[in-house]
Amino acid sequence: MTEQKNDKVFYITTPIYYVNDIPHIGHAYTTIACDVISRYKRMKGYDVHFLTGTDEHGQKIQTAAETKGKTPQELVDEIHLNFKKLWEVLNISNDDFIRTTEPRHIKVVQAMFKKLMDQGDIYKGTYSGYYCIPDETYVPESSMGPNKTCPDCGRPLTIMEEESYFFRASKYVPDLIKFYEEHLKAVMPKIRYNEIMSFLKSGVKDQSVSRTSIKWGIPVPGDEKHVIYVWFDALINYASAIGYLDDPEKFSHYWPHVRHMVGKDIIRFHCVIWPLILIALGINLPVEVIAHGWWTHEGEKMSKSKGNVINPFEMVKEYGLDPFRYFLLREVPFGNDGDFSQLALVGRINSDLANDLGNLLNRTLQMIKNYRNGVVPSCVNPQSELSEMSINTLEKVDDYLNNYQFDEALKSIWELIGRSNKFIDETAPWKLAKDESQSEQLNFVLLNLYEALRLSALLIAPFMPDTSKKILQQLGDDREVLLFDDFKWGEGAGKTINKAEVLFPRIDIKEWKKSQEEKKKMEEVKEEVKTQPEHENEISIEDFKTVEMRVAKIINVEEIPRSKKLYKLEVDLGYEKRTVCSGIKAFFTPEELNGKIVILVTNLKPVKLCGVESNGMILAASVKKDGVSEQLTLLEPEDKNIPLGSRVS
């Protein structure tokens, strides 16, 4: 295939995500990174194609569907929507979303498989490996448990053999090594490049690419008792989505510019297996495969069993979308592993976003409003130290983003923001405003600040699209299409600014810590309730019928001076009024209780509590920790108009 000479085309892909799980921060991270690059390239005038999707075949999906009592198709139809929803919530600008169960994908996989079969690069052989019979899955030697046991269920593994098709991967290894020797940036960062090179040099075996033990997959053309191995199927999405078979024009337009972004755990598939398949098919190799590191949570590996997996939906709800996007890319150099800490996120919101960026915007808008009636002034020569720094920043950001150094790009944007804040302190516009002879100087300062902000808003647009829009709106610049080339320093003169609004409210750390503690406590309590339901001894329905419960209304509430826990309540049963002592003082004020319709056990033997005779018991549900109620709610009839005294059964 010949490479097209069009430099301004950019095709970027995320891995396609397994749908056996709910989306988590790892999925969000790769996709946000691809989104930032896509948005940036579009602003540089590139024709961008950004692809994401879901990986819907294979053993994992089959097993997950069985556990849930669904067909695999039902499961994938349902779960892939979680990913679509997340991309919407995260403001992801993907151009396409591919599912491997779509016909457009299936036919490309089969065509490629057949082509390789026809040319002798896929042949029939015998696959042998360690197999977990109850789980119906092969376990690679690298992930076996002690004494050759299944890492999931702990049961012993059996050596299994089955007929399988093999891809002649070994044949093309020398070509791939040569390619990497000539393309030093084809795998990034360097540490991953080295890892791949040494893996390749240690030799690659032919790869099993079909299974007879699994049903849920794409059938091998002409031999339907086999399904195509899920990784062979999945990798091809990058080609099938852009019309490898049906739309050769689209394919040859985008393919020469393809980049795959992946987590470090799946680079062998992307930097060894996939390129070997491509070489065998005579297709160009990807320009770059960029591998990022893994996130831990407060220092620990995330896992469902530990219950410490970060849910991106929750993070966005709690801290806002743009701070979350900013934090993920600012906190950790791309390629390195990183630790997700909510305290660090709150710290960044307060310092970088509320303080640095928020203050610059507020101060600048205030001054333009106060000193120039809200109209950005012009000046004779708007060039300054800030304008010079801006050109520099544009170049640096470009350089960093071309190397996927998101954190460095953000740092240099924040240097410009920091310098601009300092510029205010140095030029002291409030002093200039008092002196008529300094009017031109004040114009110069205000225009420079305005332009630094306008450029900062453009630069942060790929990272924080909504915030960028808000800033530009406040600056009175509401262009729809943002291109870096359209920006000219000084052109903002004459614009009328809009009302200043706070972008990022500061988070009170003390309050935040308190609410986190409370949340944690609630989680623990919930966990306890979940894990230790206390069932009393069984009773018969006849026993149960001996308990008389009736609807009653609380008509008076009094404190019992000697008791911290009890209220003396007067309740109305319609046919009579009674006094009841109830240990709910810690949860309600008398005002909250007065007038409530509740359920009362009416045939309890009267008891004297703190000197008051109690004639019944009000029903409540509670969450207890160490025998003490932590949370309590009264049982109330749904229809509050039900006659008092009605029997509950």
Given candidates 16, 279, 289, 503, which one binds ligand MSP under the rule CB under 6 A? 16
> Within positions 569 to 628, which residues make up the interface with ligand MSP, using CB under 6 A?
none
DSSP 470-492: HHHHHTT---SS--GGG--TTTT
With CB under 6 A as the contact rule, which of the stretches 21-29, 104-112, 180-188, 199-207 interacts with ligand MSP? 21-29
Given candidates 10, 11, 12, 30, which one binds ligand MSP under the rule CB under 6 A? 30
3-state DSSP call for residue 516?
Answer: helix
> Within positions 320 to 359, which residues make up the interface with ligand MSP, using CB under 6 A?
none
Strand 47-55 relative to strand 9-18, pairing: parallel
We find the least distance from the C-beta atom of residue 262 to ligand MSP, in angstroms, to be 5
Given candidates 144, 160, 177, 266, which one binds ligand MSP under the rule CB under 6 A? 266
Residue 244 CA to residue 284 CA, distance in Å, equals 13
Q: Using the rule CB under 6 A, is 277 a contact of ligand MSP? A: no
Q: Using the rule CB under 6 A, is 108 a contact of ligand MSP? A: no
Q: Using the rule CB under 6 A, is 18 a contact of ligand MSP? A: yes
Nearer to ligand MSP, 236 or 475 (CB): 236
Given candidates 86, 228, 302, 389, which one binds ligand MSP under the rule CB under 6 A? 302
Phi, psi of 489 (to 5 degrees): -60, 125
Residue 614 CA to residue 563 CA, distance in Å, equals 14
Phi, psi of 251 (to 5 degrees): -60, -50
Residue 1 CA to residue 252 CA, distance in Å, equals 8
- Counting beta carbons within 10 angstroms of the beta carbon of residue 617, is it exposed (0 to 12), middle (13 to 18) or buried (19 or more)? middle
Q: Using the rule CB under 6 A, is 80 a contact of ligand MSP? A: no
Q: Using the rule CB under 6 A, is 56 a contact of ligand MSP? A: no
Q: Using the rule CB under 6 A, is 235 a contact of ligand MSP? A: yes
- Point out which residues pair with 263 in neighbouring strands: 292
Q: Using the rule CB under 6 A, is 265 a contact of ligand MSP? A: yes
Instruction: Check: CB of residue 567 under 8 Å from CB of residue 581.
Output: yes
Is the dihedral angle over the CA atoms 438, 440, 441, 447 positive or is it negative? positive
Instruction: Check: CB of residue 329 under 8 Å from CB of residue 406.
Output: yes
With CB under 6 A as the contact rule, which of the stretches 26-34, 116-124, 244-252, 453-461 interacts with ligand MSP? 26-34
Given candidates 10, 11, 12, 29, which one binds ligand MSP under the rule CB under 6 A? 29
Helix ranges (H only) for 373-438 are 385-402, 406-427, 429-432
We find the least distance from the C-beta atom of residue 15 to ligand MSP, in angstroms, to be 4
Using the 8-state DSSP alphabet, how is residue 3 labeled? P
Burial 355-381 (b: 16+ CB within 10 A, else e): ebbbebbebbbebbeebbeeebbebee
Nearer to ligand MSP, 34 or 599 (CB): 34
Nearer to ligand MSP, 117 or 241 (CB): 241
Given candidates 51, 65, 200, 234, which one binds ligand MSP under the rule CB under 6 A? 234
Given candidates 294, 484, 512, 588, which one binds ligand MSP under the rule CB under 6 A? 294
Nearer to ligand MSP, 17 or 165 (CB): 17
- Point out which residues pair with 556 in neighbouring strands: 570
Nearer to ligand MSP, 22 or 160 (CB): 22
Phi, psi of 603 (to 5 degrees): -110, 30
We find the least distance from the C-beta atom of residue 224 to ligand MSP, in angstroms, to be 24
Nearer to ligand MSP, 94 or 615 (CB): 94
We find the least distance from the C-beta atom of residue 264 to ligand MSP, in angstroms, to be 7
Token pair in block for residue 613: 């005779």
Residue 331 CA to residue 353 CA, distance in Å, equals 13
Given candidates 10, 12, 26, 257, which one binds ligand MSP under the rule CB under 6 A? 26
Q: How many residues bind ligand MSP (CB under 6 A)?
A: 18
Residue 406 CA to residue 329 CA, distance in Å, equals 6
Residue 167 CA to residue 180 CA, distance in Å, equals 21
Binding site for ligand MSP (CB under 6 A): 15-18, 26-27, 29-30, 55, 234-235, 262-263, 265-266, 294-295, 302
